[in-house]
């Protein structure tokens, strides 16, 4: 059994930033709209491994 973590489905690229498919963006927006912003940030983080600050900034940008 390996201790290495598997690559995230949508890896973060510092030159491009976070890029997620439209359907996932809609899911994230719905979480924020329903008052579940922390869950939205966690979801972005888990999908990208972008770091919590980057994930939060991304979520803030979607809702702004």
pLDDT tens by residue, 18-48: 999 999 999 999 999 999 999 999 999 999 9
Contacts 24+ apart (CB under 8 A), 21-25: 25/62
Angle at 38 between CA 47 and CA 64, to 5 degrees: 90
Note the pLDDT of residue 63.
73
Query: pTM of the full predicted structure?
Result: 0.88
Q: Is 26 left (phi over 0), alpha (psi -120 to 50) or beta?
A: alpha
* Through-space distance between the first and last CA atoms of the chain, rounded to whole angstroms: 43
Q: How far apart are CA 49 and CA 18, in angstroms?
A: 10
């Amino acid at each position: 059994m390996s201790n290495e973590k598997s690559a995230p489905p949508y890896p973060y690229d510092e030159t491009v930033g976070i890029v997620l498919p439209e359907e996932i963006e809609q899911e994230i927006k719905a979480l924020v709209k329903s008052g579940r912003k922390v869950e939205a940030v966690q979801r972005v983080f888990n999908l990208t491994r972008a770091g919590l600050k980057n994930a939060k900034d991304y979520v803030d940008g979607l809702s702004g």
